[in-house]
Structure 1
Amino acid sequence: MDQLTIVHLSDTHLTDDGRLLYGRINPWRRLAQALSAAEQLAPDVVVLTGDVADRGAEIHADAAKILAEAQYLLGCPVITIPGNHDPAGSIGSEFNTTRLSTGPYPANTVHDIDGLRIIGLDSGGFQLSQGNIDPAQLAWLDRLLSVSAPKGSLLLLHHPPLESFSPALAGRGLQNPQALAALVAGSDVRAILCGHYHQTGASQLLNVPVFMAPATSYNMNPFAPSEVIQENCSWFSVMRLSAASVVSVPASTAQMLPLHQRTENYLALRRS
């Protein structure tokens, strides 16, 4: 199996009306910087695991336009699922344009990346901190996993199926992780990719690795007794997947060569 490179973005928290997060963070620029940085990694796929918008902001048409441009420039699929800040149905047909099929809800999608199956799950729960995969989605996933993919499967969902390292985020993960664990046990699922906690992390759901991406917008200090914002740059994860291993590492735009013009071009799309 050839090695595949996956760029994992999460929690962009895009705002409307020029609002800055915490009065000082421009989430649109951070997304543009992360997509510009991804160009240097030549990814086989880019995934975005939810909270595209901040607090239900009506930005999804503009976000879809930027992600479509990234898909064209990077020459690879961009796969998006919703989070608890994205209203139901907001990740619709203008997203995930390379999908092979759609499940119970518009953001439940299936993609093929050179034999690797990527399954998007909508753990949604708009305005709820805790996520849920309902019986219809579980049945759909069960049917999919009954047939193995040539290079295995990756699952995408917003809410991690495990507790946060940080006590400040306790009780905000997936509501029914046992139901998901029962389906992935013994299946071809290589890893589960998620976001939501605004912290890098790794764990296991039974024997399946779980990788949590840092937020592209801002992150939380996992060692702080309360939620302390870390905002120095845009963060994302880079995953390398081969027949023998799945490796994920955090990366930041500060570690990449600057691509200022590409960043400005992405931002110009929103203004057009």
Structure 2
Amino acid sequence: MATVEAPIRPQTRLHEGPFVNEPLTDFTKEETARRMRAALEKVRGQLGREYDLVIGGKRVRTSDKIKSINPARPSQLVGLHQKAGKEHVEPAMQAALEAFASWSRTSFEERASLLFHVGDVLRERKFEFCAWLVFEVSKNWAEADADIAETIDFCEYYAREALRLSRTELPVQMPGERDTLLYIPLGVGAVIPPWNFPCAIMAGMTLASIVSGNTVILKPSSDSPTIAAKFVELLEECGLPEGVVNFCPGAGASFGN
């Protein structure tokens, strides 16, 4: 995987007000179309790079590879990925379990703040992420924009829900009892998303897990691992601790099972 930039220190800013869907982009406006074309050219210059597995924050290379190909141009390599095998399952599980011990004890506010921050940065880079979808799964501009807008929605919505659920509730009290209701993290989850909404569904499953205090082993679709790699890089830039999300593209019949 490419070298990750220095972490963007999250600002402690918990969004107030009701949830509102991210507006879709109007590509009939010349300035908007110009920005999208510029993003496509920027991403075009990054095609064909090699991406590593990320297990417990460590970059891992394998002999087997996954080639992500532009389905509209089969000769165009979008990204070359390491292919996780059965031998990587236990290290990924142990890394996620180790991270769970500390991540599960972070506050709902801290985890929600991270999601809000990821959404803010993703909003700033929307055209760039859209461009990756155009190349990797041949989405048109509007389809790619809707995919990224939904990803931002998940950042905003799940963060708000985490804050709502963090408030301790007092059920009906019975004589001689002191009853409370609270939500706790459960452990390690496997996230295995499909390829048709390769950013939104992948990110939604991952974000819902980590904002709840759980840790994740992420096995993206072999048809769309690059957009998942870019999203994991973004999580790292925004300050997600090592081991909370472990990036392991691989075959469903081996690593997936």
TM-score (norm 1): 0.22
Please state which structure has a larger fraction of its residues in helix: 2
TM-score, normalising length from structure 2?
0.23
Compare CA radii of gyration and give the structure with the larger one.
2
Q: Which has the larger share of strand?
A: 1
